[in-house]
Amino acid sequence: MKQTEFEPLSLVTRPTVSTNQAAHYLNLKPHTLHCWAVYQNGAVNPRRVNGRLHWAIADIRRALGEVAA
């Protein structure tokens, strides 16, 4: 399986990221995030845009315990 390189979370300027990128930052498998989306019981809940899941960077940072600057 191809390993995808993502930019460090501190350099992300977009408001949301894909499921694969969110899973990378949270050190989880994408399937875990899909389960969170279905059951709405995870540390981060997605937004749906055109039928795709988008994960808010602010929510990811909060889940990781990062303080907003």
Q: What is the pLDDT of residues 3-38, one digit of tens each?
A: 678 999 999 999 999 999 999 999 999 999 999 999
pTM: 0.86
Structure tokens at 6: 């993502």
Q: Is residue 2 part of a domain?
A: no
Give the count of domains, the chain: 1
What is the Cα–Cα distance from 26 to 5, expressed in whole angstroms? 14
* Residue pLDDT, tens place only, 47-63: 998 999 999 999 999 99
Residue at 35 is within a domain: yes
Q: Please, which residues have CB within 8 angstroms of residue 36's CB and are 6 or more apart in sequence?
A: 42, 43, 44, 45, 46
The confidence band for 2, taking pLDDT boundaries of 50, 70 and 90, is: low
Residue 1 in any domain: the answer is no
Residue 27 falls inside a structural domain: yes
The answer to whether residue 58 is domain-embedded is: yes
**Inside any domain, residue 5:** no
Q: Which domain holds residue 55?
A: 14-63
Residue 64 pLDDT grade (very low, low, confident, very high; cuts 50, 70, 90):
very high
